[in-house]
């Protein structure tokens, strides 16, 4: 009977785990809806702003864009690794960590690579192998444009001041609840338009091109970082919801298997007791 008690304890433990994973799934689903709506509504504006900057850049000499368009090489690289502050979201964080390590060992091999982590999970692992500029995980506590703008401004200042030659963003882009796409974007310097690219729009500049670019580029860079964080947050909730759904399904399957084992063991124990009673009764009759 000790074996039956052990199985019952395991069934009870799995049942408790199922309640937790199911609750986490529902919480993540609610958060995902809000985060998904935010990024879906934001993308058209962000894409149009980037398109406007590209079209405008095609009509300008890149040096007119100021310090943010200067191509300095890649001797000193800053990688902005965007992960989450919490776990239990499948391979969401590990995929970004692996991508950063891969970039440092292949694309930027022999270069000085520094990492700015946005998210506690990435910081905990990457600080063991890289020089960490700092961690900005608290921004996820209240993810607003006003809270993201200072981070973007600091990155622009460090690039313009010559501390970094290149800044890249690495994050999970949200596609749907089950799919997150590892995305690598060059943040600074601004990628020049491809040769031969011409704008189909005839712009009238007021007051002048330089003033417009001076205001548009910083705003576009802030929006690019904000969009990456919004994408990552929606992808995180999607990954956690999917992971908790799979965990709940696995727990259900394991519980059903244990119930079958328990019922078989219980049936065998009852049968043995009946045989013992019958055998004892026959012994008394004889």
Average pLDDT along the chain, 286 residues, taken 10 residues at a time: 80 93 93 92 87 67 64 90 93 95 93 95 94 93 94 94 94 92 91 59 70 81 94 95 94 93 87 83 75
In terms of domains, do 101 and 145 share one? Answer: yes
249 with 236, same domain: the answer is no
Q: Are residues 143 and 266 in the same domain?
A: no
pLDDT in tens, 72-88: 888 999 999 999 999 99
Residue 134 pLDDT: 92
CATH code where residue 164 lies: 3.40.1380.10
Q: pLDDT digit string (tens) for 38-97?
A: 999 998 998 888 777 766 665 555 555 567 878 888 899 999 999 999 999 989 999 999
Q: Which residue range(s) make up the domain with 123?
A: 21-193+200-241
Mean pLDDT of the chain: 87
Q: Is residue 281 part of a domain?
A: no
For residues 100 and 171, membership in a common domain is answered with: yes
278 is a domain residue: no
- What is the pTM (predicted TM-score) of this model? 0.85
Shared domain for 123 and 265, answered yes or no, is no
pLDDT at residue 69 in the model: 77
Looking at the fold, whether 81 and 104 belong to one and the same domain comes out as yes
Active site residues: 89
Give domain status of residue 286, yes or no.
no
Q: Are residues 237 and 268 in the same domain?
A: no
> Two tokens at 163?
């501390």
Question: Residue 280 CB: number of other CB atoms within 10 A?
Answer: 10
Confirm whether 89 is domain-assigned: yes
DSSP 187-240: EESPPPPPTT---SS----SS-HHHHHHHHHHHHHHHHHHHHHHHHHHHHHHHH
Are 260 and 177 in the same domain? Answer: no
Confidence at residue 202, expressed as pLDDT on a 0 to 100 scale: 66
Q: Is residue 282 part of a domain?
A: no
Give the separation between CA 284 and CA 255, rounded to whole angstroms: 43
Q: Select from 130, 34, 30, 29 the least CA-distant residue to 79.
A: 130
Residues 265, 235 share a domain: no
């Amino acid at each position: 009977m000790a074996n039956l008690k052990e199985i019952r304890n395991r069934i009870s433990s799995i049942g408790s785990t199922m309640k937790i994973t199911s609750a986490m799934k529902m919480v993540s689903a609610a958060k995902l809806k809000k985060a998904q709506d935010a990024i879906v509504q934001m993308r058209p504006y962000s894409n149009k702003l980037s398109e406007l900057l590209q079209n405008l850049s095609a009509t300008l000499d890149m040096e007119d864009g100021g310090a943010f368009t200067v191509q300095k090489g890649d001797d000193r690289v800053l990688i902005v690794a965007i992960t989450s502050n919490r776990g239990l979201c499948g391979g969401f964080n590990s995929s970004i960590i692996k991508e950063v390590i891969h970039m440092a060992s292949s694309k930027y091999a022999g270069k000085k690579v520094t990492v700015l982590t946005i998210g506690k999970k990435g910081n905990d692992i990457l600080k063991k192998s890289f020089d960490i500029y700092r961690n900005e995980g608290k921004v996820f506590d209240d993810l607003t444009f006003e809270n993201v703008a200072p981070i973007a401004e600091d990155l622009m200042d460090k690039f313009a001041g010559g501390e970094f030659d290149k800044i890249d963003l690495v994050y999970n882009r949200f596609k749907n609840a089950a799919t997150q796409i590892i995305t690598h974007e060059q943040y600074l310097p601004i990628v020049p338009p491809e040769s031969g690219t011409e704008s189909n729009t005839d712009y009238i500049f007021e007051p002048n091109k330089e003033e417009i670019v001076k205001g548009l580029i910083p705003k576009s860079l802030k929006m690019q970082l904000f969009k990456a964080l919004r994408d990552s947050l929606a992808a995180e909730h999607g990954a956690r919801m999917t992971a908790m759904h799979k965990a709940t399904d696995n727990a259900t399957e394991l519980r059903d298997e244990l119930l079958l084992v328990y019922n078989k063991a219980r049936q065998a124990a009852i049968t043995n007791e009946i045989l013992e009673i019958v055998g004892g009764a026959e012994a008394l009759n004889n």
